[in-house]
Amino acid sequence: MLLRKLCLALGFLFFYQSLLAQSGGFEKATPWSAKWSALAGSASASVEGAEAVFFNPAGLVHGSGQEVSINLSPSFSTFNGPIVPNTINPNPPQEKGTQVVSPDFGIMGKYKLNNKISIGGGVYTVGGARAEYKNIDFSPSYGMTPDQTIDIKILELSLGVGYQVNDVLSVGLGWRSTFVTADVNLWSVDGSNNLVALHLKELSSEDYEGFKLGVQYLPKKDWGVGLSFRSKVDFKVKGNFASEVCTLGCVPLGVVAGSSGALLAENSFPEKWSIDYFKKINPHWQTFLGLSSAKYSDNKSFKLTPGVSGVSSIPQSWKDKITYKCAVEYSGIEEWIFRGGYASASPVTASHLASASFAPPGRSYYFAFGAGKSFNQYTLEATIEYGFASEQNKTAYYGSTGDFDTNTFAIHTSVKVPL
Those residues with Cβ within 8 angstroms of residue 363's Cβ, 6 or more apart along the chain or in another chain? 344, 345, 346, 347, 389
Strand partners, 75: 102, 410
Indicate the pTM of the whole model: 0.87
b/e map 321-360, b = 16+ CB within 10 Å:
bebbbbbbbebeeeeebebbbebebbbbbbeebbbbbbbb
Query: Along the 419 residues of the chain, how does pLDDT read in single tens digits?
Result: 434 444 444 444 444 444 434 444 436 668 899 999 999 999 999 999 999 999 999 999 998 889 999 999 999 988 888 888 777 777 778 888 888 888 899 999 999 999 999 999 999 998 877 888 888 877 767 777 788 888 888 899 999 999 999 999 999 999 999 998 888 887 777 666 777 777 777 889 999 999 999 999 999 889 999 999 999 988 888 888 777 777 666 655 455 556 677 777 777 888 999 999 999 999 999 999 999 999 988 877 766 664 444 456 666 778 899 999 999 999 999 889 999 999 999 988 777 777 777 777 788 899 999 999 988 888 999 999 999 888 887 777 677 788 888 889 999 999 999 88
Q: What is the DSSP string of 93-146?
A: --EEPPPEEEEEEEEEEEEE-SSSEEEEEEEEEEEEEEEEE-S---TTT-S---
As a whole number of angstroms, the distance between CA 51 and CA 288 comes to 17
Q: How does 3-34 read in b/e, with b if 16+ C-beta sit within 10 Å?
A: bbebbbbbbbbbbbbbbbbbbbbbbbbbbbbb
- Backbone dihedral region of 357: left (phi > 0), alpha (psi from -120 to 50 degrees) or beta? alpha
50 SS3 class: helix
Domains of the chain: residue spans and CATH = 2-418 (2.40.160.60)
Helix, strand or coil, per DSSP, at residue 174: strand
